[in-house]
């Protein structure tokens, strides 16, 4: 039913603000007076008002036509926390500029409003707006509307858009106080992992991770490759910590465990402690993987509760 409504919806929506309603009432009054009195000046004023209405519709249509929106994530997004979206309004295929455009993104807890005062033909403008997602998981598309009151603010014409985004929202992390006290103790393992962040002698170069200190940046390798590179030093063995999220129980308990695991992953990365993450029987992130933080958060975001799994 919803897809059918979107398929047969009107291409434009028109809203009349207070100034437009007053102008329409004035035009109607002039028309009634012109018909009753037969005064040519009143007919001239009526023609002028009707011409302004027609001109307003033509110019607003030229402003909205062929306007496109692109939305991408400008920061990491956690459920219930504030993130940022980069919204790009493009007029690259237009010959008429985009003037006085307002985009409203209906995503998260509250709609986000982005204003684009002037977009020259063949160009695009990017704005960054706050975004507060409600729940974790992947957001395929965001419903948005682009409106304008150009040129006389008599009418507000808008168009509805479904903007593909592909945003990944991570679970709500547990509070910092809880994650510092409840982290599991490192489990003994036959193989020890090199932390790579202590010691005096470097043993290689690798890509920068969020937990790496700024003093370990290898400036020559960074300039040569165009990516942030750090020195990997010889370090003492550090045991890996096992994090496991059980799939059984209730959906509320499952979401709580995901939140605790997300907080533990962030805290362990801040402390530069290697870890392994398992959701049920699946190994989602290994301690040797330099990209374990991203893989762990992605697995927690896409985890689904299975009621058939025993507690």
Domain residue ranges of the chain, discontinuous segments joined by +: 1-168, 176-195+236-301
251-271 and 292-301 helices cross at what angle (nearest 10)? 170
> Could you tell me the CA-to-CA distances from 113 to 60, 104, 125, 127, 133 in Å, in that order?
19, 5, 15, 10, 15
Distance in angstroms (rounded) separating the CA atoms of residues 213 and 196: 11
Q: Which residues 6+ apart lie within 8 Å of 228 measured at CB? A: 207, 208, 217, 222
Q: What is the pLDDT along the chain (311 residues), one digit of tens a residue?
A: 445 545 545 678 889 999 999 999 999 999 999 999 989 999 999 999 999 999 999 999 989 988 999 999 888 999 988 899 999 999 888 888 889 999 999 877 788 899 999 999 889 999 999 988 888 998 888 899 999 999 888 999 999 988 988 889 999 998 765 555 555 544 444 444 444 444 555 667 777 776 677 778 888 888 888 888 887 765 544 557 888 898 878 888 889 999 999 999 998 888 878 888 999 888 888 887 888 899 999 999 998 877 665 55
- Of 158, 160, 121, 153, the closest CA to residue 56 belongs to 153
Count CB neighbours of 123 within 10 A.
Answer: 14
Question: What integer pLDDT is reported at residue 40 of this predicted model?
Answer: 92
Cα 100–102–107 angle (5° rounding)?
170
Q: What is the pTM of this model?
A: 0.70
Sheet containing strand 83-90, edge to edge, reads 68-73, 83-90, 124-131
Q: State the residue for tokens 């000046």.
A: 41
Q: Which residues 6+ apart lie within 8 Å of 66 measured at CB? A: 91, 93, 94
Question: What integer pLDDT is reported at residue 201 of this predicted model?
Answer: 55
- The CA dihedral of 120, 121, 126, 130, to the nearest 10 degrees, is 90
Fold of 1-168: Immunoglobulin-like (2.60.40)
Question: What integer pLDDT is reported at residue 1 of this predicted model?
Answer: 46
Rounded (to 5) percent helix, strand, coil in the chain: 30, 30, 35
Q: Which residues 6+ apart lie within 8 Å of 160 measured at CB? A: 9, 13, 143, 144, 145
């Amino acid at each position: 039913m919803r897809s059918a409504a979107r398929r047969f919806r009107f291409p434009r929506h028109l809203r009349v603000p207070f100034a437009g309603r007053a102008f329409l009432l004035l035009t109607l009054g002039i028309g009634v007076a012109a018909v009753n009195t037969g005064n040519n000046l009143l007919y001239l004023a009526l023609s002028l008002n009707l011409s302004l209405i027609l001109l307003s519709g033509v110019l607003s249509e030229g402003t909205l036509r062929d306007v496109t929106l692109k939305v991408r994530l400008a920061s990491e997004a956690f459920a219930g926390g504030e993130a940022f979206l980069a919204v790009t309004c493009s007029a690259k295929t237009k010959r008429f500029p985009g003037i006085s455009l307002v985009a409203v993104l209906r995503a998260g807890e509250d709609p986000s409003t982005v204003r684009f005062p002037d977009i020259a033909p063949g160009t695009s403008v990017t704005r960054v707006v706050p975004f507060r997602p409600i729940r974790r998981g992947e957001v395929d598309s965001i419903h948005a509307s682009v409106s304008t009151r150009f040129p006389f603010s008599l009418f507000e014409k808008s168009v509805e858009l479904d903007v593909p985004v592909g945003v990944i929202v991570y679970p709500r992390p547990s509070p910092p106080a809880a994650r510092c006290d409840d982290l599991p103790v490192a489990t003994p393992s036959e193989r020890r992992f090199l932390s790579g962040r202590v010691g005096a002698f470097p043993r290689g170069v690798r890509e920068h991770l969020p937990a790496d200190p700024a003093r370990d940046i290898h400036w020559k390798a960074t300039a040569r490759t165009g990516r942030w590179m750090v020195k990997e030093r010889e370090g003492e063995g550090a045991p890996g910590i096992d994090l496991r999220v059980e799939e059984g129980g209730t959906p509320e308990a499952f979401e709580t465990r995901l939140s605790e695991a997300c907080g533990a992953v962030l805290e362990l990365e801040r402390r530069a402690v290697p870890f392994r993450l398992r959701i049920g029987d699946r190994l989602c992130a290994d301690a040797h993987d330099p990209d374990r933080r991203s893989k762990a958060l992605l697995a927690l975001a896409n985890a689904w509760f299975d009621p058939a799994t025993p507690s």
